[in-house]
A and B are shown apart, each in its own frame.
Chain A
Amino acid sequence: MSSSLAADGAQRPLSPATDWPPGSPAPGHLVQFYADEAFLAATVADFLAPAVAGSGAAVVVATPEHREAISGALASRGVEVPAAILEGRLILCDARETLCRLLRHGRVDEGCFQASVVPLIERLALRFPGHFRVYGEMVDLLWGDGARQDALRLEALWNGLLARQGFPLLCTYRLERFASAGDGEEFARVCVGHSHVLPAESYTREDDEEARRREVSRLQQQALALQQEVRRRREAEEELRRALAVRDEFLVLAGHELRTPLTALQLQAQFLLTLAEGVSEPVRGRLDRLEGQVARLAEVVEDMLAAFRLSEARVPLVLAEADLKDIVTAAADRLADSVRRSGCSVRIVTEEGIRGRWDGPRLTQVVTNLMTNALKFGRGGLVEVRAASKDGRALLWVRDEGPGVAPEARERIFERFHRAVPFTHASGLGLGLWIARRIVEGHGGRIAVENRPGPGATFLVELPLNPEKEG
C-alpha cells in the first residue's frame, strides 16, 4: 500500500482530499478502489473540488450515473457546477463514448490516444497551468469488459502523458472486479501502474488515526482468515476429487462384480425356462419366479449404480450413433419375461431410421424404466410404445391402461425416491422415473406425463437428434 510521510513522521495512507490541496497539486496517478457508489462520488468530488472550486479546472470521464452523482457531490462541496461547465472549468465526458474514440480494431490504440486525449490535456495545461485534475473510469470499463490487457495499456498511455505534463489523475476500479483469490496477480499489476493506491472505503473513511489503525488490524485479520479459508476449501476440494476418483473406481469394480453373476443367473434362469416346456407346472412356476426375482435384482442393481452416476450436476453420457428402434427393441427384449408375468400385452410401433447421437445404453435404461413402470401399474392391459420423429427431434411415448397419474403428482413422480404407492404395494427404489428424467435431460430433452383424457398414463420423451449440436 502506498503512503506518505506526515509532519509528525508517521506513515499514513494517502487521501485525495488532503494530499492534493488547491494551489499545490502534486502530480501523480492515483487509483481508488471502491465498493460503494456513494463513496465513489464523494471521493472523486473530494479530489476534484479543490481545483474546480478555485481557479483551476477538472475533467470527469465517467458513466452517466457517475457524472450525475459526482456533479451532485461537487455541488454539495460548494462548487457552482453549471457555471464551472459554462466557463469550461468542469468538462464532463461520457466514459464509453470517449473509450470508443481510443479503440482501433477493438484494441486501445496509442495513435487514437494521441489524437483525442493529448490535445485536451495540452489545452488545459496551457489555460490552467498546474491547476487542473482529471478523473477517469475508462480502465474500469475495459476491466469489466474482460479487456484487461487493454486496461493496463491505457494506464501506461496515461502514465506517459503524466510524465510529460505532470497533473493529478485519479482512476477508480470496482473492488468486485478482483473478487476471486486468483485475481491477486492482476490486482498487483494495476497497483504497480499507479503512483498512489487508495484502498476501498472501509479503510479510508476513518478520520481518526487510532480508529484507522484498528480498522487496518481488522482488515488484516479478515484477509488472513480468508486466505486460510481459501486454503482449507482448496484442500477440501482436492480431498473431494480424490474421494470421487475412489468412488468412481469402486463403482466400476462394483458394477463388474454385481453384473457378472447377475448375467450368469439371468441367462441360466431364462435358459432353464426355455427348456422347461415339458416339465410340471409347479416346477415351471418356480423357475418363472426365480427368473422374476433375478430380473428384479438386476433392475435394483442398475438403478443403484445409475443413481450414483446421475447424482452429479452434469450427467455423464457417452454419445455415439444410435437407432431409436434398436434401443426400444433391446428394452423390450430385456423385459420379455416381465411382460409375460405382468399379464400385459405390449405393442411397439416405431418409425424406421430415427437415428441420433445418443448414449444408447442409458436410453435403453430410460425405455426399460418407463416400460417397467407401465407393466407395474398397467393392470394387465395394453402397454404401447411408439417412436416417431418431428422437427429434428425424436419422440417416444409409453402408454399404459392403469389408473393414470393425478395432475398434482405429474411433477412429483420424477423426484428421487418418490413412490407412487407405499412400499407394501409395489417393489423398486423409487428411482426409475428420476433416472429416466436425468438421462433425458442430460441429452437436452424433456420427459413428461401427458395430459390425456381417459384412463391410463402416457409418458412422453422428447430428444434432440444431436445433443452436442444443441449445446
Chain B
Amino acid sequence: MQRGKTVLLVEDDPDIADTMADVLRESGYTVHCAADGREALGLLARIPRPGLILLDLMMPSMDGYAFRQQQQRDPRVADIPVVVMTACRPTENQIAGELDCAAWIHKPFALKELIALVARLCRPTPTNAAAAGR
C-alpha cells in the first residue's frame, strides 16, 4: 500500500479516469482528478503537492501539451514527474524533450503496468513542515 503519496490524474474520459482513480486509491494513493489541463493547473494551486502527474494528451479546453508548458514554467510544480498517457504514437521530438516526461504509457495499458509505473515514479507527498520550507 502506498500511504502518503498523492497522484494528480489529468484525463478527460470519465470511465478511464474513474477506474484509474479507483485502482490507485485501492493501492493506497490519494488521487485528485482533473478533466483537462486548465482544471489541473487550478488543482495544483490548491491541493498538497502531488508526487506524480498522470497526463493525457488529447483533451478539450487545455490539452496535455499546453498543460505541460505551463507546469514547466512554474518553479513550484515544474519538477513533479509526469507520466504521459497516450492513445497515439508520439513523435521523436516529443520523446526527445518537447514534453520532457518521466515515462510514456500507451493506451490501452494493463492495470498491472499502470500500478508498477506509478509505484516506481511517484514521490512521497511532503509533510506540512517540509512543504513550508520549500
Interface residues of A (CB under 8 A from B): 252, 255-256, 259-268, 270-271, 274, 298, 318-320, 329-330, 333-334, 336-337, 360-361, 364
Q: Is B107 an interface residue (CB 8 A)?
A: yes
B112 A260 Cβ-Cβ under 8 A:
no
Q: In the complex the two chains form, is B87's CB within 8 Å of A260's CB?
A: yes
Q: Is B127 an interface residue (CB 8 A)?
A: no
Query: Are B16 and A264 within 8 A (Cβ)?
Result: yes
Complex Cα gap A252–B89 (Å): 8
- Distance A76 CA – B11 CA, assembled complex (angstroms): 88
Asked whether B13 is an interface residue with its Cβ less than 8 Å from the other chain, the reply is yes
Q: Can you list 20 A-B pairs with a CB-CB distance of less than 8 A?
A: A255-B89, A256-B88, A259-B107, A260-B16, A263-B13, A264-B13, A266-B108, A266-B109, A267-B16, A267-B111, A271-B22, A271-B111, A274-B26, A298-B108, A318-B90, A318-B91, A320-B95, A330-B113, A334-B113, A336-B112
Within the complex, the shortest CB–CB distance from A460 to chain B, in Å, comes to 25
Q: B3: which A residues are within 8 A, CB to CB? A: none
A-contacting residues, B79-134, CB 8 Å = 87-92, 95-96, 104, 106-114, 116
B19 in contact (CB, < 8 A): yes
Chain B neighbourhood of A319, CB < 8 A: 92
A264-B19, A267-B20 in contact; A255/B110 too (CB < 8 A)? Answer: no
| B96: nearest chain-A partner, CB-CB | A320
Q: Which of A260, A263, A267, A318 contacts B92 (CB 8 A)?
A: A318
Known: A255-B88, A259-B87, A271-B23. A336 touches B110 (CB 8 A): yes
Can you name the residue of chain B whose Cβ is closest to the Cβ of A364? B106
Instruction: Tell me which residues across on chain A come within 8 A of B96, comparing CB atoms.
Output: 320
How many residues from B make CB contacts under 8 Å with A? 28
How many Å lie between the Cα of A318 and that of B92 in the bound state? Answer: 5
What residues of chain B lie closer than 8 Å to A271, measured between beta carbons?
A: 19, 22-23, 26, 111
Judge if B58 is at the interface, Cβ distance under 8 Å: yes
Given A263-B109, A330-B113, A361:B89 Cβ within 8 A:
yes
A337: chain B residues at CB < 8 Å are 110
In the complex, the chain B residue whose C-beta lies closest to that of A298 is B108
For the complex, what is the distance from the CA of A298 to the CA of B111, rounded to whole Å?
14
A residues within 8 A CB of B74? Answer: none
List B contacts of A256 (CB < 8 A).
58, 87-88
Residues of B within 8 A of A329 (CB): 116
- The answer on a CB contact under 8 Å between B110 and A266 is yes
* Contact assessment for B107 and A260 in the assembled complex, using a CB-CB cutoff below 8 Å: yes
Do the beta carbons of B89 and A263 come within 8 Å of each other?
no
